[in-house]
């Protein structure tokens, strides 16, 4: 397994005038054997980041590197594989699940070898390999998602991207799929980009957490650090929004409705400034937020001029250091065995 690095990646859709920059200069590293949880609201660009990594969306600028080499999106061998959100759409209803998995096995093996590999993969995801001849419509959602995971593994990937793989499943099944993800990661040492809107789910599986807002990565770091010591106000907002958070409840109770930002017309400066609780709308002297785009910086990485400052003390304002790369952050040991 190996390291996947997004280096200043941008993705644009549509023409120059009415286009949309879904991902705007995002940098992120999935360390070798680590699981990076990517959270953010709908429209933040997290799924687009996944799709560009596997070649389903066009890379506008920047680089996507696998162990230092640009990721190839040509030929039959694709080192980055993806598991999709909706298992009801990601398996061809006209193919048996065995055929679907076999199709993803890189060429060069005999028929018997392929069959053996399909059996092995199905066992790996705890699916009875005798049922490889079943069609998707005979399976439940959770079973389909297991098969989809097996298919992604069939490509012998170096990195797997999981895009909201539990959100289309019933709650009783989610747990089983998350257990599977953790087990595979542990046994195979998979590098993984795990995308979810649910911070609790991400917390459960990820060693690192990245937070995305309007096409930008606004915070990135070891999971424990980001969760216990969030630097970016948006991350703090997300944490406070978790059901049961008392602080969040009082905060939200006072809030008037906040207009979500328009990704077609992102605000100048820091993209979060119009709704930031510690930004220029609350603290007028923080004009820099309106004008200057912050870079990923601070303890772990947070893109905020006033990271971790609830009051305008201003002492920790950065002196514009060279932009740090996520790659420089060391993969920390995970809090669980």
Contact set for another protein, span 256-285 (CB under 8 A): 256-265
Total residues contacting another protein by CB under 8 A comes to 108
Judged by CB under 8 A, the chain residues 291 through 310 that form the site for another protein are none
Least distance from C-beta 257 to another protein, angstroms?
5
By CB under 8 A, residue 10 contacts another protein: no
Judged by CB under 8 A, the chain residues 199 through 218 that form the site for another protein are 199-201, 203-204
By CB under 8 A, residue 229 contacts another protein: no
- For the chain, the distance separating the N- and C-terminal CA atoms, rounded to the nearest angstrom, is 19
Tokens 């992120």, residue located: 28
The Cα–Cα gap between 182 and 337 comes to: 11
By CB under 8 A, residue 54 contacts another protein: yes
By CB under 8 A, residue 227 contacts another protein: yes
User: Could you write out the DSSP letters of every residue in 221-255?
Assistant: EEHHHHHHS--SHHHHHHHHTSTT-HHHHHHHHHP
Judged by CB under 8 A, the chain residues 140 through 179 that form the site for another protein are 140-143, 148, 151-152, 154-155, 164, 167-176, 178-179
By CB under 8 A, residue 94 contacts another protein: yes
Nearer to another protein, 155 or 222 (CB): 155
Structure tokens at 123: 């066992």
The Cα–Cα gap between 149 and 260 comes to: 34
Nearer to another protein, 14 or 189 (CB): 14
Least distance from C-beta 227 to another protein, angstroms?
8
User: Among 75, 108, 284, 322, which residue interacts with another protein (rule: CB under 8 A)?
Assistant: 75
Here's the x/- map for another protein, 13-32, by CB under 8 A: it reads as: xx-----x-x----------
Residues 6+ apart with CB under 8 A from 273: 267, 279, 280, 281, 289, 290
DSSP 8-state secondary structure symbol assigned to residue 297: B
Nearer to another protein, 133 or 292 (CB): 133
Q: Which of 114, 29, 95 is nearest to 66 (CA)?
A: 29
What value does the CA radius of gyration of the chain take, rounded to a whole number of Å? 21
By CB under 8 A, residue 113 contacts another protein: no
Structure tokens at 43: 């429209």
Residue pair 233/279 in contact by the 8 Å Cβ criterion = yes
**Contact stretch for another protein (CB under 8 A) within 24-32, 112-120, 251-259, 292-300:** 251-259
């Amino acid at each position: 397994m190996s390291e996947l690095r997004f280096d200043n990646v941008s993705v644009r859709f549509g023409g120059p005038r009415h286009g949309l920059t879904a991902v705007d200069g995002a940098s992120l590293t999935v360390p070798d054997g680590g699981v990076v949880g990517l959270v953010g609201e709908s429209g933040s660009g997290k799924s687009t980041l996944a799709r560009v990594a596997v070649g389903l969306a066009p890379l506008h600028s920047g680089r996507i590197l696998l162990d230092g080499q640009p990721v190839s999106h040509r030929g039959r061998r694709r080192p980055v594989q993806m598991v999709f959100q909706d298992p009801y759409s990601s398996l061809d209803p006209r193919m048996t699940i065995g055929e679907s998995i076999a199709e993803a096995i890189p060429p060069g093996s005999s028929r018997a070898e392929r069959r053996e590999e399909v059996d092995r993969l199905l066992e790996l995801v705890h699916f009875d390999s005798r049922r490889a001849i079943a069609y998707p419509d005979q399976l439940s959602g959770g079973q389909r998602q297991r098969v989809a995971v097996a298919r992604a593994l069939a490509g012998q990937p170096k990195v797997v991207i999981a895009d909201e793989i539990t959100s289309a499943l019933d709650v009783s099944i989610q747990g089983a799929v998350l257990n599977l993800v953790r087990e595979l990661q542990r046994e195979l040492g998979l590098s993984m980009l795990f995308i979810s809107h649910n911070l609790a789910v991400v917390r459960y599986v990820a060693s690192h957490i990245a937070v995305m807002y309007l096409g930008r990565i606004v915070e990135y770091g070891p999971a424990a650090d980001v969760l216990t010591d969030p630097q970016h106000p948006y991350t703090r907002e997300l944490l406070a929004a978790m059901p049961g958070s008392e602080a969040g409840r009082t905060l939200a109770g006072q809030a008037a409705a906040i207009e979500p930002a328009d990704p077609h017309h992102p605000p100048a400066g820091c993209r979060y400034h119009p709704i930031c609780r510690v930004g220029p709308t609350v603290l007028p002297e923080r004009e820099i937020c309106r004008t200057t785009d912050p870079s990923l910086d601070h303890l772990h990485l947070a893109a905020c001029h006033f990271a971790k400052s609830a009051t305008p003390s201003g002492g920790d304002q950065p002196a514009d250091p060279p932009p740090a790369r996520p790659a420089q952050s060391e993969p920390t040991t995970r809090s669980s065995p």
